[in-house]
Amino acid sequence: MNTKILLNERPHGEPTLQNFKTVKEDIREPNDGEVLLKTIYMSLDPYMRGRMNDAKSYAKAVEIGDVMEAGALSQVIKSKSNDFKEGDFVEGRTGWQDNPTVDAKELRKIDPTMAPLSTSIGVLGMPGTTAYVGMHNFAKPQKGETIVVSAASGAVGSTVGQIGKIYGCRVVGVAGSEEKCNFTKSELGFDECVNYKDPDFKDKLKSACPNGVDIYWENVGGITFEAVMPLLNDYARIPVCGLISLYNATSLPEGKDRLPLLFRQVLTQRMMIKGFIVFNHYDQREESIIALSKWIQEGKIKYKEDFVDGLENAPNAFIGLLNGKNFGKLVIKVNPDPTI
C-alpha cells in the first residue's frame, strides 16, 4: 500500500490536524519512464504553509484532496526508466507519501558514498542551495563585514552563517532559545547570537553589532527585522528567502505603517532588498553541492538534523516547525535508512 497525507481543508491562521487527511491506496506499477519508490527521508520546510493557501504566489497551491508537497530522499523499488535501476537512491519532490510512483524526469540520482542520505534534502539539498545562492549572488559578503542571520540554527540560517565565517565576516545569529543561541556559537562558530524572546533583544542585538549591519539574511520578518532596521549600514544587502513569522497571519500587522520609513532608508542608504526563490536558481545546484561538500569535508560547515519517526507524525511536526519547535533541519524518517 501507498500511504499518502492529503490537504483536507485550507487552514485559517495556524494549521491544525484537521487540515490533513491520511489515506492508503494500492501501489501503482510504473509505466514506461516511471519508477516506483520507497521514501526514506522526507523534508518539512516552512514554505509548505504557503502552498496550503489558495492565493497567488510563486508556485501553484496544493489543491484540496491532493498530496501535500515535499522533497524526499527515496530508493528505487521498480524502474521502467533507462535513467534509474532498482536500488538507486534519488531525490525529488515526491510529497507526503511512502511508496509513490513518479516520472523519472522529476528525480536526480544521489551518491550514497558522498554524504549521509538525509543531507540530500538538507545541507546538500534545497536549504543548502538556498544559502549558497543567496550568499553568492546577492549578499556578496566581504571580509570584515557584519552579517545578521535570522532563524540562525535552522537549515538555511545555520549554513548562511557558516558561509559568512568562511568569507571572514562577523556573524551574529538570531534564534528563539538560549540552547539554539549557544549551539550557533559553540558548534557553528558564530561570533554572537541573540535570543529574540529576550526582553532586551533590540539592545542586545545593537551591542552585538558595534559596526552596524552590512548584510541581513531574512528568514523570519517581524520583530527581528524591526530590530535590524536601525542598524543597517550604507549599501547593506538584504536577501529575503522566508518570512516564517507571517505565514500564519490572517491580517496585516497592527501598529504604525513603517513602509515609507523603510523606502526612505533604502534610497538614502542605497540598500538592496532582494527576494529570491531557490527553484529559479537550480542551474547552480551542482555548483552549490560541490562547494558545500568541500566545506563540510574541510570542517568549515557543520549541520544539525532534527529527525521525527513516522510519516503519520508529519502533520504535528509541521505545525511545530511553524512555531520554532524544531532544532536544525526537520526530517521525517519514513522508512529505515539501508546505508546505516
pLDDT at residue number 205: 98
Exposed / middle / buried, residue 314 (Cβ in 10 Å: 0-12, 13-18, 19+): buried
Predicted pLDDT at 222: 84
User: 284: which strand partners?
Assistant: none
The three grid cell numbers given for residue 145, joined into one nine-digit string? 563585514
Residues of the chain short of pLDDT 70, as ranges, are 244-254
Model-level pTM? 0.89
pLDDT at position 280 = 92
pLDDT value of position 247: 61
> Rounded CA gap, 196 and 264, in Å?
26
Q: What is the 3-state secondary structure (H, E, C) of 180-229?
A: HHHHHHHCCCCCEEEECCCCCHHHHHHHHCCCCEEEEEECCCCHHHHHHH
Q: Are 19 and 91 in contact (CB under 8 A)?
A: no
Which grid cell sits at 318?
509541521
For residue 264, the Cα-to-chain-centroid distance in whole angstroms is 31
Helix, strand and coil content of the chain, in percent to the nearest 5, comes to 35, 25, 40
Calpha distance 176→216 (Å, rounded): 17
pLDDT at 263: 86
Q: Is 18 exposed, middle or buried (0-12, 13-18, 19+ CB in 10 A)?
A: exposed
How far apart, in whole angstroms, are the C-alpha atoms of residue 338 and residue 340? 6
* pLDDT of 245: 61
